[in-house]
A and B are shown apart, each in its own frame.
Chain A
Amino acid sequence: MELVLKNVSREFQDFTAVDDINFTMKNGIYGLLGVNGAGKTTLMRMICTLLKPTKGHIYLNGKEILEMGAEYRQILGYLPQEFGYYPEFSVRDYLMYIASIKGLDRFAASKKADRLLMQVGLGNVQKKKMKKLSGGMKRRAGIAQAMLNDPKILILDEPTAGLDPNERVRFRNLISELAGSRMVLLSTHIVSDVEYIANEIMLMKDGCFVQTGSMAQISASVPVKAWNTAVQKKEAQRFLKNYMVSNVRQLPDKVELRILSEQKPHIDAVCTELTLEDIFLYYFGEKGGESDVLL
């Protein structure tokens, strides 16, 4: 299975959300990383046939997905960023309804819903109304609905947004477990989500992919190294001003800095392996940093 994005662009009036993207995806987990407003959601919506590209085409195994229509949607599972549900439906009713619009017959839907409810840990709340579920439970119901038709292509838009750290780890593991032999496209602005589970990473900025590849490939493409050093408090300001600093940690009498630099920034600096978080900072600057998302 091969999903090819060919010169894909999407414009909204005077604003280009996705700008001439070319990319090929096969089975595996793809992490789409970018700051808010980078165009991730628009790109995913085009892949889900919810939006038409203003330029370019998306092909699945050589066929245009918009022309494939229902045939394409049959193998698609989608968890949107803002996951909407029917508040008065019970969790089970919700899944049964989504199963029906996914074309599953009642018997198969019931069996599948039972299995997924257990898998996502919602078996004991299946009769609860959707509106009564916690944020994490709703997200799990969201992933369950996306999996109902056993999709070959699974699109997850910011699946861990708003979840607490425990829920996020649990959710990440669940995605890994469900991935199997599918093509999973996982969009996030939370670095750790993709760092652990993605086979390939796409860094998206202003509607374009600024870098794509495996963690090692992306790491190799960055012309800086990561340096750890402890400096006097009065010196710290100078480093913060002159270098890209990916982390600052207060010690009793010093400040420990993680500096991204081509050259050794300080005599005591120790070179360490680049993390995805460092790379994210390198490409997106401080705009990309979110203190609550560093696991």
Chain B
Amino acid sequence: MFYYELKKILSRKSGRTVIFLICALLVFVCYFAIQNPEAVYFDENGREEHGYRAMQNLKAQRHEWAGGLSTDMLAKVIAENARINNEAKEKGLSEEDVWVRIRAFDDIRTMINRAFCKFREYDYYKIDSLSPDAASEFYERRITNLTEWLDSNEAQILSDEEKAFLTKRYMELETPLEYDYMTGWEVHAVYMPTVTMIVLLIISFPVAGIFAGEKQLKADAVFFSSYNGRGRAVLAKLMAGIVFVTAAYWVTVIVYSAVVLGVLGADGAGLMVQIDVWKSFYNITFFERFLLMVFGGYVGCLSIALIEMLVSAKTKSAVISVAVPFILIFLPTFISEFVSRLEYGNKILGLLPDQLFLISQVLSQFNLYKIGSGMTGAVEVLFTIYTIISLALVPIIYAVYRRSEVQ
């Protein structure tokens, strides 16, 4: 039964189109990821290079700055930045030439800019105004910036408990941070939401037909009048849907991750994400962020696909069902401006299913939720809510579909 249900999905035109579209998606996204401006190496003549060998060279360049970001190391970066600026003035170098020269320690330079700018500001040239002595304030500034912002009017929507939670999380970050080449993880995170959202939208077409298809094909009368038609055959449909979504999602994500991390490198997996997302209160490594993104995307894909299956089972309309993922993914964008003005607007928006595809952004936001006596971030709540929703939907879809009447 299960085999034939899966065959039904894949033998339909929409099923075959999915395979083609996912291949096309992978080709485009992997190409853009490899060509990303973050994944560029400039040779001695200033020529731009992309790809595996270029990344090996960039890796070698950045390894020179690898290690603990101690005061000495940060002072060295500030001094080197100043030396390049002076050289640029003397030789009349262009901004592009300067950028090529600072490329090796660009990540650390960006962190210094973030640390010494105010909490909600960013000045690319901030480091130029710093002396190497300022390096000793680097980690302190991260916490000071936060506490200053928490005292500002803008942060008054946060409760004292939330403010204390954020400060505590900031202080819990172990310093000095380790630094190394981590471009692979950085670029991977940039395209991950695109990959997972598009996979969901692509698979939503065959998924819409899993339950509605029987009526569309007028095969429902034979289906429901058969021995297993209101029992195991419905379960087989449900299982085929879940396996199809799971396979399509994981094949895409694994191929995408393997290509991007294979070409750009998986070095830096154990580094803290604050190197990339400076303000994040989630004290996790790049690898842990990777896991959150891929599993978040899966929970998002599966839960939305199951909601779509429920609509398909209830309405028996593939057209109505296929609209569900589009609404759940795009509606938050349209309503965010209005909803965010409400008292708990951001908290509501932070729990919509699209957020599971945007984990890398969620990690940089301050959406906090009080669960019982404890405080937690949006990531934990999103995983919990949508895992429960997915688990609850399985028996609901089964119950709804098996009771169908054929009129």
Contacts and interface: CB of A to CB of B under 8 A. Distances in A.
Interface of A: 12, 45, 48-52, 69-70, 73-74, 76, 78-80, 82-89, 93, 96-98, 100-103, 145-146, 149
A101 B233 contact: yes
A89 B4 CA distance: 9
Contacts of B221: 45, 48, 50, 78, 80, 82, 84
Contacts of A69: 230
A69 B221 CA distance: 15
B327 interface: no
**Most chain B CB neighbours (cut-off 10 Å) among A97, A101, A103, A146:** A101
Contacts of A98: 222, 226
Contact of A49 (B217, B223, B225, B228): B225
Question: Interface SS of chain A: helix, strand, loop or mixed?
Answer: loop
A101 B217 contact: no
Contacts of B12: 88
Contacts of B229: 73, 101
A83 B227 contact: no
Interface of B: 1, 4, 7-8, 11-12, 214, 217-233, 405-407
Q: Which 4 A-B pairs have CB atoms at the shortest separation, nearest pair first?
A: A84-B218, A84-B219, A88-B11, A80-B221
Nearest to A94: B4
Contacts of A74: 227
A73 B8 CA distance: 23
B406 A45 contact: yes
Given A69-B230, A70-B227, A73-B229, A82 B11 contact: no
16 contacts: A48-B221, A50-B221, A50-B225, A76-B225, A79-B222, A80-B218, A80-B221, A83-B218, A84-B222, A86-B219, A96-B4, A97-B1, A98-B222, A101-B229, A149-B226, A149-B227
B231 A70 contact: yes
B39 to A, nearest CB: 42
A52 B7 contact: no
B222 A80 contact: yes
Contacts of B4: 89, 93, 96-97, 100
A91 to B, nearest CB: 14
Nearest to A146: B222
B205 to A, nearest CB: 16
Nearest to A82: B218
A85 B228 CA distance: 17
Given A78-B225, A100-B4, A103-B227, A86 B11 contact: yes
**Most chain B CB neighbours (cut-off 10 Å) among A45, A48, A100:** A100
Given A86-B11, A93-B7, A96-B4, A102 B217 contact: no
A103 B7 CA distance: 18
A288 B233 CA distance: 40
A230 to B, nearest CB: 48
A79 B222 CA distance: 7
A45 B405 CA distance: 9
Nearest to B405: A51
A109 to B, nearest CB: 11
A290 B214 CA distance: 32
A73 B217 contact: no
A86 B222 CA distance: 12
A101 B214 CA distance: 13
B315 to A, nearest CB: 18
Given A74-B227, A78-B222, 18 more contacts: A48-B225, A51-B405, A51-B407, A69-B230, A70-B228, A73-B225, A73-B230, A80-B221, A83-B222, A86-B11, A88-B11, A89-B11, A93-B4, A102-B227, A103-B228, A145-B222, A146-B222, A149-B226
A88 B14 CA distance: 12
Contacts of B230: 69-70, 73
A84 B227 CA distance: 18
Given A52-B405, A70-B228, A87-B217, A101 B223 contact: yes
Contacts of A73: 225-227, 229-230
